[in-house]
Amino acid sequence: MIGLEATLEEIAAVSDSAQIPSLLQHVAERYGLKTVAYLGTGTLDRKAPRREPYIAVTYPPEWVERYRTQGYLKIDPAIQIGLRRLLPVDWDEFGDGDRALRQFFGEALEFGLGRRGISFPVHGCRGDRALLSVTADFSNSEWHWARRTAFRHFPIIAAHLHDAVLSTEGVFRTQPHLSPREIECLQWTSEGKTVWECGVILGLSPHTVKCYLESARHKLGASSNTHAVSLALKFGLLFKLP
């Protein structure tokens, strides 16, 4: 889970959408991937000048230009199918396809995308949608192993990344409501205190402290106590102790 925790903490630290491409590059390096791409719709503030969709990729610039000039968005099955799906879409499902599709994937390979790909959809509660797609040059056995292990992280990564885009692009995001005890436990955790030490300070049993921290992690959508502290700080729920 180290790669997941590091990635979620990095996402939580995003304060500007300009940071997202480099974040995607870090994800690619962390998981041994060729490329990582994010596409979001319904992610922008209606008053923002930028036009949808929101796109951030690690693709070579030459492929981005080729994709645009050839109008590949209209035939790209990862997008056309992926945005309508609820579960991850393994690009192996597309098969050989017709001539246009074979040309599309053939060119993608020539421009440096991996031989295999998978897309992870996100469906927001305000009609917003997103797709996080990754490619790799894994062998059959490596690909099947990745699907059973590392790729289980990516629905979580996709959801958190999408939330970061919503936040940086000015879309309203509901602040989670934590109880006073949950905030206190996170507050002392942020100061480096152990569960036992938090219990002594707050007059609670270690088991009760663990329950409050678990509840806080759930409300914040955090993968660890460290990640929960990072998110709570981002929401302005914690303060620095003297």
**Poorest-pLDDT segment among 45-54, 75-84, 85-94:** 45-54
Q: Per the domain annotation, does 217 fall within a domain? A: yes
Does 125 have pLDDT greater than 70? no
Cβ pair 30, 6 in contact under 8 A: yes
Q: Per the domain annotation, does 45 fall within a domain? A: yes
The three-class DSSP label of residue 39 is strand
Q: Per the domain annotation, does 240 fall within a domain? A: no
* Same domain? 138 vs 211: no
* Same domain? 105 vs 10: yes
* Same domain? 57 vs 97: yes
The residue out of 143, 168, 193 marking a domain boundary is: 168
Lookup: tokens for 119: 């897309």
Per-residue pLDDT tens over the stretch 143-180: 999 998 889 889 888 888 888 888 776 554 556 778 88
* Same domain? 17 vs 96: yes
**CATH no. for residue 126?**
3.30.450.80
Domain that holds residue 186: 180-234
* pLDDT for res 16: 83
Q: Per the domain annotation, does 173 fall within a domain? A: no
Average pLDDT, the chain: 85
Q: Per the domain annotation, does 174 fall within a domain? A: no
The three-class DSSP label of residue 48 is coil
Q: Most confidently modeled of 93-97, 191-195, 232-236?
A: 191-195
